[in-house]
Chain A
Amino acid sequence: MTAIPGVDAPPARPAPPSPSDAARRRRRWRHLPQYAAISPFFVLFAVFGLYPVLYSLYLALQRWDGVGPKKFVGLENFRYLLTDGQFWDSIGNTLLIWVMSTVPMTVLALLIALGLNSSIRFKGALRIAYFMPNVTSIVAMSLVFGSIFSGEFGILNWFLGLFGLGHVPWLADPWAIRSAIAIMIVWRWTGYNAIIFLTGLQALPTDVYEAARIDGAGPVQTFFRITLPLLRPVLLFSLVMSAIGGLQTFTESQVLLGDRGGPGAAGMTMVLYFYGTAFADNDFGYGAAIAWGIFVVVVLFAILNWRLVQRPDRGQVTTEEGGR
Protein backbone atom coordinates (compact mmCIF):
# COMPACT_ATOMS: atom_id res chain seq x y z
CA MET A 1 0.00 0.00 0.00
CA THR A 2 1.42 3.31 -1.01
CA ALA A 3 -1.45 5.46 0.20
CA ILE A 4 -0.61 7.16 3.47
CA PRO A 5 -3.58 7.31 5.82
CA GLY A 6 -4.34 11.00 5.93
CA VAL A 7 -6.66 13.77 5.11
CA ASP A 8 -7.26 13.14 1.50
CA ALA A 9 -6.76 9.43 1.47
CA PRO A 10 -9.22 8.00 -0.99
CA PRO A 11 -12.01 5.95 0.46
CA ALA A 12 -11.13 2.26 0.59
CA ARG A 13 -11.58 1.09 -2.93
CA PRO A 14 -13.89 -1.90 -3.21
CA ALA A 15 -11.93 -4.67 -4.88
CA PRO A 16 -12.98 -5.21 -8.46
CA PRO A 17 -15.43 -8.07 -8.19
CA SER A 18 -14.62 -10.28 -11.12
CA PRO A 19 -10.82 -10.90 -10.80
CA SER A 20 -11.09 -11.45 -7.02
CA ASP A 21 -13.86 -13.96 -7.46
CA ALA A 22 -11.91 -15.74 -10.09
CA ALA A 23 -8.85 -15.76 -7.84
CA ARG A 24 -10.84 -17.16 -4.99
CA ARG A 25 -12.30 -19.82 -7.23
CA ARG A 26 -8.85 -20.61 -8.50
CA ARG A 27 -7.63 -20.84 -4.94
CA ARG A 28 -10.47 -23.16 -4.06
CA TRP A 29 -9.81 -25.42 -7.03
CA ARG A 30 -6.08 -25.25 -6.59
CA HIS A 31 -6.20 -27.90 -3.87
CA LEU A 32 -8.51 -30.20 -5.73
CA PRO A 33 -5.74 -32.76 -6.50
CA GLN A 34 -4.85 -32.92 -2.80
CA TYR A 35 -8.46 -33.45 -1.76
CA ALA A 36 -8.81 -36.12 -4.42
CA ALA A 37 -5.62 -37.80 -3.23
CA ILE A 38 -6.81 -38.18 0.33
CA SER A 39 -10.43 -38.90 -0.51
CA PRO A 40 -10.33 -42.70 -0.99
CA PHE A 41 -9.66 -43.36 2.67
CA PHE A 42 -12.33 -40.93 3.82
CA VAL A 43 -14.92 -42.26 1.40
CA LEU A 44 -14.23 -45.85 2.42
CA PHE A 45 -14.26 -44.91 6.07
CA ALA A 46 -17.57 -43.07 5.72
CA VAL A 47 -19.20 -46.03 3.98
CA PHE A 48 -17.62 -48.98 5.78
CA GLY A 49 -16.71 -47.40 9.10
CA LEU A 50 -18.72 -44.38 10.18
CA TYR A 51 -22.05 -45.34 8.69
CA PRO A 52 -21.95 -48.91 10.10
CA VAL A 53 -20.97 -47.62 13.53
CA LEU A 54 -23.88 -45.18 13.61
CA TYR A 55 -26.20 -47.77 12.18
CA SER A 56 -25.14 -50.25 14.85
CA LEU A 57 -26.35 -47.75 17.45
CA TYR A 58 -29.74 -47.85 15.75
CA LEU A 59 -29.59 -51.64 15.50
CA ALA A 60 -28.83 -51.95 19.20
CA LEU A 61 -32.30 -50.55 19.85
CA GLN A 62 -33.97 -53.23 17.73
CA ARG A 63 -34.69 -56.88 17.84
CA TRP A 64 -33.59 -58.30 14.51
CA ASP A 65 -32.58 -61.70 13.17
CA GLY A 66 -30.91 -60.20 10.11
CA VAL A 67 -33.63 -61.29 7.69
CA GLY A 68 -37.11 -60.49 9.03
CA PRO A 69 -38.53 -57.13 10.08
CA LYS A 70 -36.83 -55.15 12.80
CA LYS A 71 -38.74 -54.55 16.01
CA PHE A 72 -38.00 -51.46 18.08
CA VAL A 73 -37.30 -52.43 21.69
CA GLY A 74 -35.75 -49.23 23.05
CA LEU A 75 -33.04 -49.76 25.62
CA GLU A 76 -34.13 -53.36 26.25
CA ASN A 77 -30.92 -54.82 24.75
CA PHE A 78 -28.71 -52.61 26.89
CA ARG A 79 -30.73 -53.33 30.02
CA TYR A 80 -30.31 -57.03 29.37
CA LEU A 81 -26.61 -56.59 28.63
CA LEU A 82 -25.96 -55.09 32.06
CA THR A 83 -27.43 -58.16 33.75
CA ASP A 84 -26.08 -60.69 31.25
CA GLY A 85 -23.78 -62.98 33.21
CA GLN A 86 -22.24 -64.37 30.02
CA PHE A 87 -21.20 -60.89 28.91
CA TRP A 88 -19.57 -60.09 32.24
CA ASP A 89 -17.88 -63.47 32.22
CA SER A 90 -16.56 -62.77 28.75
CA ILE A 91 -15.08 -59.47 29.97
CA GLY A 92 -13.51 -61.33 32.89
CA ASN A 93 -12.08 -64.03 30.62
CA THR A 94 -10.69 -61.47 28.21
CA LEU A 95 -8.99 -59.48 30.96
CA LEU A 96 -7.65 -62.64 32.64
CA ILE A 97 -6.22 -63.94 29.38
CA TRP A 98 -4.78 -60.50 28.70
CA VAL A 99 -2.96 -60.38 32.06
CA MET A 100 -1.89 -64.02 31.82
CA SER A 101 -0.34 -63.38 28.43
CA THR A 102 0.99 -59.82 28.77
CA VAL A 103 3.04 -60.34 31.95
CA PRO A 104 5.10 -63.34 30.79
CA MET A 105 5.28 -61.92 27.27
CA THR A 106 6.76 -58.62 28.45
CA VAL A 107 9.31 -60.29 30.73
CA LEU A 108 10.38 -62.78 28.06
CA ALA A 109 10.52 -60.11 25.37
CA LEU A 110 12.72 -57.92 27.58
CA LEU A 111 15.10 -60.81 28.26
CA ILE A 112 15.30 -61.67 24.57
CA ALA A 113 15.86 -58.03 23.65
CA LEU A 114 18.67 -57.71 26.21
CA GLY A 115 20.24 -60.90 24.84
CA LEU A 116 19.97 -59.71 21.25
CA ASN A 117 21.41 -56.34 22.23
CA SER A 118 24.64 -57.94 23.47
CA SER A 119 27.55 -58.70 21.22
CA ILE A 120 26.73 -62.12 19.85
CA ARG A 121 26.65 -63.59 16.38
CA PHE A 122 23.70 -64.72 14.24
CA LYS A 123 21.53 -61.94 15.62
CA GLY A 124 19.76 -61.57 12.30
CA ALA A 125 18.72 -65.22 12.15
CA LEU A 126 17.60 -65.21 15.79
CA ARG A 127 15.53 -62.11 15.23
CA ILE A 128 13.79 -63.73 12.27
CA ALA A 129 13.12 -66.91 14.27
CA TYR A 130 11.59 -64.98 17.14
CA PHE A 131 9.53 -62.79 14.86
CA MET A 132 8.13 -65.51 12.62
CA PRO A 133 5.10 -66.46 14.76
CA ASN A 134 3.79 -62.93 14.39
CA VAL A 135 3.20 -63.32 10.67
CA THR A 136 1.91 -66.89 10.73
CA SER A 137 -1.80 -67.54 10.34
CA ILE A 138 -3.56 -67.69 13.71
CA VAL A 139 -6.02 -70.24 12.37
CA ALA A 140 -3.26 -72.56 11.22
CA MET A 141 -1.29 -72.30 14.42
CA SER A 142 -4.40 -72.65 16.55
CA LEU A 143 -4.89 -76.02 14.86
CA VAL A 144 -1.30 -76.99 15.62
CA PHE A 145 -1.62 -75.85 19.21
CA GLY A 146 -4.90 -77.70 19.45
CA SER A 147 -2.91 -80.87 18.86
CA ILE A 148 -0.05 -79.85 21.14
CA PHE A 149 -2.52 -79.15 23.95
CA SER A 150 -4.61 -82.27 23.40
CA GLY A 151 -5.24 -83.87 26.79
CA GLU A 152 -4.85 -87.50 25.78
CA PHE A 153 -2.41 -87.44 22.90
CA GLY A 154 -0.87 -83.99 23.10
CA ILE A 155 2.88 -83.73 22.94
CA LEU A 156 2.93 -81.15 25.73
CA ASN A 157 1.39 -83.55 28.24
CA TRP A 158 3.71 -86.29 27.01
CA PHE A 159 6.65 -83.92 27.57
CA LEU A 160 5.42 -82.93 31.05
CA GLY A 161 5.01 -86.63 31.79
CA LEU A 162 8.73 -87.19 31.13
CA PHE A 163 9.40 -85.04 34.17
CA GLY A 164 6.76 -86.81 36.21
CA LEU A 165 4.47 -83.83 35.97
CA GLY A 166 0.75 -84.41 36.01
CA HIS A 167 -1.62 -84.64 33.14
CA VAL A 168 -3.07 -81.16 32.43
CA PRO A 169 -6.53 -81.11 30.81
CA TRP A 170 -5.52 -78.13 28.66
CA LEU A 171 -8.79 -77.96 26.75
CA ALA A 172 -11.20 -79.02 29.52
CA ASP A 173 -10.36 -77.17 32.73
CA PRO A 174 -11.23 -73.43 32.88
CA TRP A 175 -7.82 -72.24 34.06
CA ALA A 176 -6.00 -74.60 31.75
CA ILE A 177 -8.06 -73.32 28.83
CA ARG A 178 -7.19 -69.72 29.65
CA SER A 179 -3.54 -70.70 30.07
CA ALA A 180 -3.55 -72.45 26.70
CA ILE A 181 -4.92 -69.35 24.97
CA ALA A 182 -2.46 -67.15 26.87
CA ILE A 183 0.44 -69.40 25.81
CA MET A 184 -0.61 -69.05 22.18
CA ILE A 185 -0.70 -65.28 22.51
CA VAL A 186 2.70 -65.27 24.23
CA TRP A 187 4.07 -67.44 21.43
CA ARG A 188 2.73 -65.06 18.82
CA TRP A 189 3.69 -61.72 20.31
CA THR A 190 6.89 -62.19 22.35
CA GLY A 191 9.15 -61.89 19.32
CA TYR A 192 7.33 -58.82 18.06
CA ASN A 193 7.74 -57.08 21.40
CA ALA A 194 11.35 -58.22 21.72
CA ILE A 195 12.09 -56.49 18.41
CA ILE A 196 10.34 -53.33 19.61
CA PHE A 197 12.30 -53.39 22.89
CA LEU A 198 15.53 -54.09 21.04
CA THR A 199 15.04 -51.01 18.89
CA GLY A 200 14.34 -49.03 22.06
CA LEU A 201 17.51 -50.39 23.68
CA GLN A 202 19.62 -49.50 20.68
CA ALA A 203 18.36 -45.92 20.82
CA LEU A 204 19.44 -45.42 24.45
CA PRO A 205 22.30 -42.96 25.02
CA THR A 206 25.60 -44.73 25.73
CA ASP A 207 27.05 -41.98 27.93
CA VAL A 208 24.59 -42.75 30.75
CA TYR A 209 25.90 -46.31 30.82
CA GLU A 210 29.45 -45.09 30.79
CA ALA A 211 28.71 -42.87 33.79
CA ALA A 212 27.01 -45.74 35.62
CA ARG A 213 29.97 -47.98 34.97
CA ILE A 214 32.38 -45.39 36.33
CA ASP A 215 30.15 -44.99 39.41
CA GLY A 216 30.52 -48.73 39.96
CA ALA A 217 26.97 -49.86 39.18
CA GLY A 218 26.58 -53.58 38.57
CA PRO A 219 24.64 -55.02 35.63
CA VAL A 220 21.50 -55.70 37.68
CA GLN A 221 21.53 -52.24 39.20
CA THR A 222 22.15 -50.69 35.78
CA PHE A 223 19.20 -52.59 34.36
CA PHE A 224 16.69 -51.57 37.05
CA ARG A 225 17.97 -48.02 37.60
CA ILE A 226 18.80 -46.97 34.06
CA THR A 227 17.62 -49.28 31.31
CA LEU A 228 14.10 -49.88 32.59
CA PRO A 229 13.28 -46.21 33.33
CA LEU A 230 14.74 -45.11 30.00
CA LEU A 231 12.74 -47.78 28.22
CA ARG A 232 9.50 -46.59 29.79
CA PRO A 233 7.96 -45.03 26.65
CA VAL A 234 8.70 -48.18 24.68
CA LEU A 235 7.25 -50.39 27.41
CA LEU A 236 4.13 -48.24 27.50
CA PHE A 237 3.77 -48.48 23.74
CA SER A 238 3.98 -52.24 23.97
CA LEU A 239 1.45 -52.26 26.80
CA VAL A 240 -1.00 -50.15 24.81
CA MET A 241 -0.60 -52.34 21.74
CA SER A 242 -1.08 -55.53 23.75
CA ALA A 243 -4.18 -54.06 25.36
CA ILE A 244 -5.66 -53.19 21.97
CA GLY A 245 -4.89 -56.66 20.67
CA GLY A 246 -5.75 -58.49 23.87
CA LEU A 247 -9.22 -56.99 24.12
CA GLN A 248 -9.89 -58.29 20.60
CA THR A 249 -8.82 -61.88 21.26
CA PHE A 250 -10.99 -64.07 19.11
CA THR A 251 -9.39 -66.44 16.63
CA GLU A 252 -7.43 -68.57 19.11
CA SER A 253 -10.59 -69.18 21.14
CA GLN A 254 -12.85 -69.77 18.18
CA VAL A 255 -10.60 -72.27 16.42
CA LEU A 256 -9.48 -74.04 19.59
CA LEU A 257 -12.81 -74.18 21.39
CA GLY A 258 -15.60 -73.28 18.99
CA ASP A 259 -18.30 -70.61 19.12
CA ARG A 260 -19.16 -71.20 22.77
CA GLY A 261 -15.72 -70.87 24.31
CA GLY A 262 -15.31 -74.50 25.32
CA PRO A 263 -16.11 -76.25 28.60
CA GLY A 264 -17.42 -73.81 31.19
CA ALA A 265 -17.16 -71.12 28.48
CA ALA A 266 -13.75 -70.37 30.00
CA GLY A 267 -12.38 -69.35 26.63
CA MET A 268 -15.35 -67.09 25.84
CA THR A 269 -13.82 -63.71 25.05
CA MET A 270 -15.78 -60.52 24.43
CA VAL A 271 -15.39 -60.64 20.67
CA LEU A 272 -16.20 -64.35 20.57
CA TYR A 273 -19.39 -63.68 22.52
CA PHE A 274 -20.21 -60.91 20.09
CA TYR A 275 -19.53 -63.16 17.11
CA GLY A 276 -21.54 -66.05 18.51
CA THR A 277 -24.53 -63.87 19.37
CA ALA A 278 -24.60 -61.95 16.11
CA PHE A 279 -23.47 -64.44 13.50
CA ALA A 280 -24.08 -67.85 15.02
CA ASP A 281 -27.39 -67.07 16.77
CA ASN A 282 -28.41 -64.36 14.28
CA ASP A 283 -29.36 -62.07 17.14
CA PHE A 284 -28.21 -58.91 15.38
CA GLY A 285 -29.87 -56.37 17.66
CA TYR A 286 -28.39 -57.80 20.83
CA GLY A 287 -25.09 -58.38 19.02
CA ALA A 288 -24.92 -54.66 18.24
CA ALA A 289 -25.55 -53.91 21.92
CA ILE A 290 -22.68 -56.25 22.87
CA ALA A 291 -20.45 -54.47 20.38
CA TRP A 292 -21.21 -51.18 22.13
CA GLY A 293 -20.53 -52.83 25.46
CA ILE A 294 -17.13 -53.92 24.14
CA PHE A 295 -16.55 -50.39 22.88
CA VAL A 296 -17.16 -49.00 26.38
CA VAL A 297 -14.71 -51.50 27.88
CA VAL A 298 -12.11 -50.58 25.24
CA VAL A 299 -12.58 -46.85 25.91
CA LEU A 300 -12.25 -47.34 29.69
CA PHE A 301 -9.10 -49.33 29.07
CA ALA A 302 -7.74 -46.65 26.76
CA ILE A 303 -8.38 -43.97 29.41
CA LEU A 304 -6.57 -46.12 31.96
CA ASN A 305 -3.63 -46.47 29.59
CA TRP A 306 -3.67 -42.78 28.88
CA ARG A 307 -3.50 -41.96 32.60
CA LEU A 308 -0.54 -44.28 32.87
CA VAL A 309 1.26 -42.50 30.05
CA GLN A 310 0.42 -39.03 31.33
CA ARG A 311 1.78 -39.50 34.84
CA PRO A 312 5.47 -40.22 34.84
CA ASP A 313 6.63 -41.41 38.25
CA ARG A 314 8.68 -38.87 40.11
CA GLY A 315 12.39 -39.45 40.46
CA GLN A 316 12.70 -41.05 37.07
CA VAL A 317 14.73 -39.85 34.19
CA THR A 318 12.61 -37.75 31.85
CA THR A 319 12.17 -39.93 28.84
CA GLU A 320 9.66 -38.22 26.60
CA GLU A 321 12.04 -38.42 23.69
CA GLY A 322 13.64 -41.67 24.73
CA GLY A 323 11.82 -43.85 22.24
CA ARG A 324 12.23 -41.66 19.23
Chain B
Amino acid sequence: MSTRGRILTYAALVIGALITLFPYYWLSVMASNTTADIYAAPPKLVYGGQLFHNIGEVFSKIDFFGSLLNTMVVAVVTTLAVLFFDSLAAFTFAKYTFPGSKALFGILLATFVVPTQLAAIPQFSLMAHFGWVGSLKALIVPAAANAFGIFWMRQYAAGALPDELLEAARIDGCGFFRTYLNVALPVLRPALAFLGIFTFVNAWNDFLWPLVVLIDSHHITLQLALAQLNGLYVTDYSVVMAGTLVAVVPLVIVFLLGARHFIRNIASGALKG
Protein backbone atom coordinates (compact mmCIF):
# COMPACT_ATOMS: atom_id res chain seq x y z
CA MET B 1 0.00 0.00 0.00
CA SER B 2 1.24 3.49 -0.77
CA THR B 3 2.27 5.71 2.11
CA ARG B 4 -0.58 8.09 1.38
CA GLY B 5 -3.08 5.25 1.33
CA ARG B 6 -1.72 3.99 4.61
CA ILE B 7 -2.00 7.38 6.26
CA LEU B 8 -5.56 7.83 5.01
CA THR B 9 -6.54 4.36 6.22
CA TYR B 10 -4.94 5.05 9.52
CA ALA B 11 -6.64 8.42 9.89
CA ALA B 12 -10.05 6.96 9.02
CA LEU B 13 -9.62 4.12 11.49
CA VAL B 14 -8.55 6.43 14.29
CA ILE B 15 -11.44 8.83 13.65
CA GLY B 16 -13.85 5.89 13.62
CA ALA B 17 -12.41 4.63 16.89
CA LEU B 18 -12.70 8.08 18.46
CA ILE B 19 -16.37 8.29 17.43
CA THR B 20 -16.90 4.81 18.87
CA LEU B 21 -15.28 5.80 22.15
CA PHE B 22 -16.95 9.20 22.35
CA PRO B 23 -20.00 8.04 24.35
CA TYR B 24 -17.64 6.77 27.07
CA TYR B 25 -15.85 10.10 27.17
CA TRP B 26 -19.14 11.97 27.19
CA LEU B 27 -20.45 9.75 29.96
CA SER B 28 -17.45 10.57 32.16
CA VAL B 29 -17.73 14.28 31.35
CA MET B 30 -21.40 14.34 32.30
CA ALA B 31 -20.72 12.37 35.46
CA SER B 32 -18.15 14.93 36.57
CA ASN B 33 -20.23 18.06 35.94
CA THR B 34 -23.37 19.54 37.40
CA THR B 35 -26.69 19.04 35.68
CA ALA B 36 -26.71 22.74 34.81
CA ASP B 37 -23.37 22.34 33.03
CA ILE B 38 -24.68 19.35 31.10
CA TYR B 39 -27.66 21.32 29.88
CA ALA B 40 -25.68 24.46 29.13
CA ALA B 41 -25.46 25.83 25.60
CA PRO B 42 -22.83 25.41 24.33
CA PRO B 43 -22.37 22.22 26.39
CA LYS B 44 -19.37 21.85 28.63
CA LEU B 45 -17.05 19.44 26.82
CA VAL B 46 -14.41 18.92 29.48
CA TYR B 47 -14.24 17.30 32.89
CA GLY B 48 -15.69 19.12 35.86
CA GLY B 49 -14.88 18.65 39.50
CA GLN B 50 -18.18 17.16 40.59
CA LEU B 51 -17.45 13.48 40.03
CA PHE B 52 -17.11 12.42 43.65
CA HIS B 53 -19.95 14.60 44.77
CA ASN B 54 -22.19 13.02 42.12
CA ILE B 55 -21.10 9.51 42.99
CA GLY B 56 -21.82 10.29 46.63
CA GLU B 57 -25.32 11.36 45.60
CA VAL B 58 -25.79 8.04 43.79
CA PHE B 59 -24.77 6.11 46.87
CA SER B 60 -27.17 8.06 49.04
CA LYS B 61 -30.13 7.73 46.69
CA ILE B 62 -30.06 4.10 45.67
CA ASP B 63 -28.65 1.01 47.28
CA PHE B 64 -25.79 0.99 44.84
CA PHE B 65 -23.55 -1.44 46.70
CA GLY B 66 -26.44 -3.79 47.33
CA SER B 67 -27.25 -3.95 43.65
CA LEU B 68 -23.58 -4.19 42.74
CA LEU B 69 -23.21 -7.11 45.12
CA ASN B 70 -26.30 -8.79 43.68
CA THR B 71 -24.97 -8.38 40.16
CA MET B 72 -21.58 -9.75 41.20
CA VAL B 73 -23.17 -12.77 42.85
CA VAL B 74 -25.36 -13.48 39.82
CA ALA B 75 -22.55 -12.98 37.31
CA VAL B 76 -19.93 -14.98 39.22
CA VAL B 77 -22.15 -17.91 40.19
CA THR B 78 -23.73 -18.11 36.73
CA THR B 79 -20.31 -18.03 35.09
CA LEU B 80 -18.89 -20.77 37.30
CA ALA B 81 -21.95 -22.96 36.77
CA VAL B 82 -21.90 -22.44 33.01
CA LEU B 83 -18.18 -23.16 32.80
CA PHE B 84 -18.56 -26.40 34.70
CA PHE B 85 -21.75 -27.75 33.14
CA ASP B 86 -21.01 -26.59 29.60
CA SER B 87 -17.44 -27.85 29.49
CA LEU B 88 -18.43 -31.20 30.98
CA ALA B 89 -21.21 -31.66 28.42
CA ALA B 90 -19.02 -30.34 25.60
CA PHE B 91 -16.22 -32.74 26.49
CA THR B 92 -18.71 -35.60 26.55
CA PHE B 93 -20.29 -34.73 23.22
CA ALA B 94 -16.91 -34.17 21.60
CA LYS B 95 -15.20 -37.36 22.70
CA TYR B 96 -17.78 -40.03 23.48
CA THR B 97 -20.37 -41.83 21.42
CA PHE B 98 -23.14 -43.50 23.30
CA PRO B 99 -26.67 -44.51 22.37
CA GLY B 100 -28.54 -41.36 21.43
CA SER B 101 -25.56 -39.02 21.61
CA LYS B 102 -26.02 -37.76 18.05
CA ALA B 103 -29.75 -37.24 18.51
CA LEU B 104 -29.27 -35.47 21.83
CA PHE B 105 -26.74 -33.11 20.29
CA GLY B 106 -29.22 -32.44 17.50
CA ILE B 107 -31.88 -31.60 20.08
CA LEU B 108 -29.41 -29.28 21.76
CA LEU B 109 -28.85 -27.44 18.48
CA ALA B 110 -32.58 -27.27 17.87
CA THR B 111 -33.08 -25.43 21.16
CA PHE B 112 -31.25 -22.47 19.59
CA VAL B 113 -34.38 -21.55 17.67
CA VAL B 114 -36.64 -21.41 20.71
CA PRO B 115 -37.12 -17.69 21.30
CA THR B 116 -36.60 -16.81 24.92
CA GLN B 117 -39.55 -14.44 25.17
CA LEU B 118 -41.87 -17.32 24.29
CA ALA B 119 -40.94 -18.82 27.63
CA ALA B 120 -40.92 -15.61 29.66
CA ILE B 121 -44.50 -15.61 30.96
CA PRO B 122 -44.64 -19.27 32.02
CA GLN B 123 -41.14 -18.94 33.42
CA PHE B 124 -42.40 -16.10 35.52
CA SER B 125 -45.31 -18.14 36.87
CA LEU B 126 -42.93 -21.05 37.39
CA MET B 127 -40.71 -18.78 39.47
CA ALA B 128 -43.77 -17.61 41.37
CA HIS B 129 -44.63 -21.27 41.99
CA PHE B 130 -41.11 -21.97 43.30
CA GLY B 131 -41.28 -18.81 45.39
CA TRP B 132 -38.26 -17.45 43.52
CA VAL B 133 -39.76 -14.15 42.33
CA GLY B 134 -37.51 -11.43 43.68
CA SER B 135 -34.74 -13.91 44.38
CA LEU B 136 -31.40 -14.13 42.62
CA LYS B 137 -32.00 -17.86 42.16
CA ALA B 138 -34.46 -16.94 39.44
CA LEU B 139 -31.59 -15.44 37.47
CA ILE B 140 -28.92 -18.03 38.19
CA VAL B 141 -30.60 -21.42 37.97
CA PRO B 142 -32.17 -21.17 34.49
CA ALA B 143 -28.90 -19.78 33.14
CA ALA B 144 -26.62 -22.40 34.74
CA ALA B 145 -26.07 -24.30 31.47
CA ASN B 146 -26.69 -23.23 27.92
CA ALA B 147 -26.75 -24.66 24.42
CA PHE B 148 -24.49 -22.00 22.93
CA GLY B 149 -21.63 -22.68 25.32
CA ILE B 150 -21.87 -26.45 24.95
CA PHE B 151 -21.97 -26.18 21.18
CA TRP B 152 -19.11 -23.70 21.00
CA MET B 153 -16.92 -25.61 23.40
CA ARG B 154 -17.64 -28.94 21.76
CA GLN B 155 -16.21 -27.56 18.51
CA TYR B 156 -13.14 -26.47 20.41
CA ALA B 157 -12.76 -29.71 22.36
CA ALA B 158 -13.11 -31.88 19.26
CA GLY B 159 -10.05 -30.22 17.77
CA ALA B 160 -8.01 -29.60 20.90
CA LEU B 161 -8.29 -32.99 22.60
CA PRO B 162 -6.51 -35.77 20.68
CA ASP B 163 -7.93 -39.26 21.21
CA GLU B 164 -4.47 -40.56 22.14
CA LEU B 165 -4.42 -38.27 25.16
CA LEU B 166 -7.72 -39.67 26.42
CA GLU B 167 -6.56 -43.20 25.65
CA ALA B 168 -3.41 -42.61 27.69
CA ALA B 169 -5.51 -41.31 30.58
CA ARG B 170 -7.71 -44.41 30.35
CA ILE B 171 -4.68 -46.71 30.46
CA ASP B 172 -3.42 -44.81 33.48
CA GLY B 173 -6.68 -45.77 35.15
CA CYS B 174 -8.51 -42.46 34.95
CA GLY B 175 -12.27 -42.78 35.05
CA PHE B 176 -14.56 -40.54 33.03
CA PHE B 177 -14.75 -37.73 35.53
CA ARG B 178 -11.03 -37.83 36.36
CA THR B 179 -10.22 -37.64 32.67
CA TYR B 180 -12.44 -34.58 32.39
CA LEU B 181 -10.89 -32.95 35.43
CA ASN B 182 -7.21 -33.76 34.90
CA VAL B 183 -6.90 -34.07 31.15
CA ALA B 184 -9.70 -32.17 29.42
CA LEU B 185 -10.05 -29.10 31.63
CA PRO B 186 -6.40 -27.98 31.36
CA VAL B 187 -6.53 -28.32 27.58
CA LEU B 188 -9.82 -26.42 27.43
CA ARG B 189 -8.46 -23.47 29.43
CA PRO B 190 -8.41 -20.95 26.54
CA ALA B 191 -11.97 -21.86 25.61
CA LEU B 192 -13.03 -21.59 29.24
CA ALA B 193 -11.53 -18.12 29.46
CA PHE B 194 -13.54 -16.97 26.48
CA LEU B 195 -16.80 -18.57 27.55
CA GLY B 196 -16.22 -17.20 31.04
CA ILE B 197 -15.90 -13.58 29.92
CA PHE B 198 -18.78 -14.01 27.50
CA THR B 199 -21.08 -15.42 30.18
CA PHE B 200 -19.98 -12.90 32.77
CA VAL B 201 -20.63 -9.96 30.46
CA ASN B 202 -24.06 -11.25 29.47
CA ALA B 203 -25.06 -11.98 33.05
CA TRP B 204 -23.84 -8.55 34.12
CA ASN B 205 -25.74 -6.74 31.39
CA ASP B 206 -28.94 -8.78 31.33
CA PHE B 207 -32.00 -6.58 31.59
CA LEU B 208 -35.31 -8.04 30.37
CA TRP B 209 -35.46 -11.11 32.59
CA PRO B 210 -34.27 -9.36 35.78
CA LEU B 211 -36.77 -6.61 35.03
CA VAL B 212 -39.53 -9.20 34.90
CA VAL B 213 -38.59 -11.45 37.79
CA LEU B 214 -37.07 -9.05 40.31
CA ILE B 215 -40.07 -6.77 40.12
CA ASP B 216 -40.79 -4.82 43.33
CA SER B 217 -37.95 -6.55 45.04
CA HIS B 218 -35.14 -5.48 47.33
CA HIS B 219 -32.75 -7.68 45.41
CA ILE B 220 -32.25 -5.71 42.25
CA THR B 221 -29.31 -5.84 39.90
CA LEU B 222 -27.18 -2.96 38.78
CA GLN B 223 -28.99 -2.62 35.46
CA LEU B 224 -32.34 -2.34 37.23
CA ALA B 225 -30.89 0.14 39.70
CA LEU B 226 -29.74 2.27 36.77
CA ALA B 227 -33.14 2.17 35.12
CA GLN B 228 -34.67 3.05 38.49
CA LEU B 229 -32.22 5.89 39.08
CA ASN B 230 -33.14 7.27 35.69
CA GLY B 231 -36.83 7.07 36.49
CA LEU B 232 -36.56 8.67 39.91
CA TYR B 233 -34.06 11.44 39.33
CA VAL B 234 -34.49 12.63 35.79
CA THR B 235 -33.98 16.18 36.95
CA ASP B 236 -30.60 15.37 38.41
CA TYR B 237 -29.04 14.06 35.26
CA SER B 238 -25.45 14.30 36.43
CA VAL B 239 -26.26 11.91 39.28
CA VAL B 240 -27.83 9.44 36.83
CA MET B 241 -24.68 9.66 34.73
CA ALA B 242 -22.41 9.19 37.74
CA GLY B 243 -24.34 6.00 38.57
CA THR B 244 -24.07 4.88 34.97
CA LEU B 245 -20.34 5.50 34.96
CA VAL B 246 -19.78 3.51 38.12
CA ALA B 247 -21.85 0.66 36.66
CA VAL B 248 -19.92 0.62 33.38
CA VAL B 249 -16.38 0.80 34.74
CA PRO B 250 -16.06 -2.68 36.34
CA LEU B 251 -17.11 -4.40 33.16
CA VAL B 252 -14.81 -2.30 30.99
CA ILE B 253 -11.96 -3.39 33.26
CA VAL B 254 -12.93 -7.06 33.03
CA PHE B 255 -13.12 -6.71 29.27
CA LEU B 256 -9.79 -4.92 28.91
CA LEU B 257 -8.06 -7.59 30.99
CA GLY B 258 -9.03 -10.33 28.59
CA ALA B 259 -9.74 -8.32 25.46
CA ARG B 260 -7.15 -9.66 23.06
CA HIS B 261 -7.92 -13.24 23.81
CA PHE B 262 -11.65 -12.65 23.91
CA ILE B 263 -11.80 -10.87 20.55
CA ARG B 264 -9.74 -13.56 18.85
CA ASN B 265 -12.05 -16.26 20.17
CA ILE B 266 -15.35 -14.60 19.45
CA ALA B 267 -14.45 -14.46 15.78
CA SER B 268 -12.99 -17.94 15.42
CA GLY B 269 -15.84 -19.44 17.44
CA ALA B 270 -18.41 -17.64 15.36
CA LEU B 271 -16.93 -18.74 12.07
CA LYS B 272 -16.42 -22.34 13.08
CA GLY B 273 -20.13 -22.68 13.73
Evaluate whether A143 and B241 lie within 8 angstroms (CB atoms) in the complex, with A52-B123, A118-B9, A132-B20 already known: yes
A187 lies within 8 A of chain B by Cβ: yes
A267 lies within 8 A of chain B by Cβ: no
CB distance from A38 to the nearest CB of B (A): 4
A34 neighbours in B (Cβ, 8 Å): 92, 96, 98, 101, 176
A274 neighbours in B (Cβ, 8 Å): 117, 120
Partner of A35, one of B86, B98, B146: B98
Q: Mark B16-31, 1 if CB is under 8 A from A, else 0.
A: 1100110110110010
Asked whether B111 lies within 8 Å of A128 as measured between CB atoms, the reply is: no
B270 lies within 8 A of chain A by Cβ: yes
CB distance from A195 to the nearest CB of B (A): 5
A111 neighbours in B (Cβ, 8 Å): 12
Partner of A195, one of B43, B116, B267: B267
Asked whether A135 lies within 8 Å of B13 as measured between CB atoms, the reply is: no
Partner of B226, one of A59, A143, A190, A284: A143
Q: Mark A264-280, 1 if CB is under 8 A from B, else 0.
A: 00000001001100110
**Residues of B in contact with A, size category:** 35 or more
Evaluate whether A288 and B121 lie within 8 angstroms (CB atoms) in the complex, with A41-B85, A137-B251 already known: yes
B207 neighbours in A (Cβ, 8 Å): 138-139, 250-251, 254
Known: A196-B270, A248-B115. 10 other contacts (CB 8 A): A40-B88, A55-B125, A132-B252, A144-B26, A147-B26, A155-B26, A195-B263, A287-B121, A294-B118, A298-B113
Q: B residues engaging A (CB < 8 A)?
A: 1, 6, 9-10, 12-14, 16-17, 20-21, 23-24, 26-27, 30, 38-43, 85-86, 88-89, 91-93, 96, 98-99, 101, 104, 107-108, 111, 113-126, 141-142, 144-147, 150, 175-177, 180, 201, 204-205, 207-208, 211-212, 215, 222-223, 226-227, 230, 237, 240-241, 244, 247-248, 251-252, 255-256, 259-260, 263, 266-268, 270-272
Q: A residues engaging B (CB < 8 A)?
A: 31, 33-35, 37-38, 40-42, 44-45, 47-53, 55-56, 59, 66, 108, 111-112, 115-116, 118-120, 124, 126-133, 135-141, 143-148, 152-153, 155, 158, 187, 190-192, 195-196, 198-200, 203, 234, 237, 241, 248, 250-251, 254-255, 271, 274-275, 278-279, 284, 287-288, 291-292, 294-295, 298-299, 302, 323-324
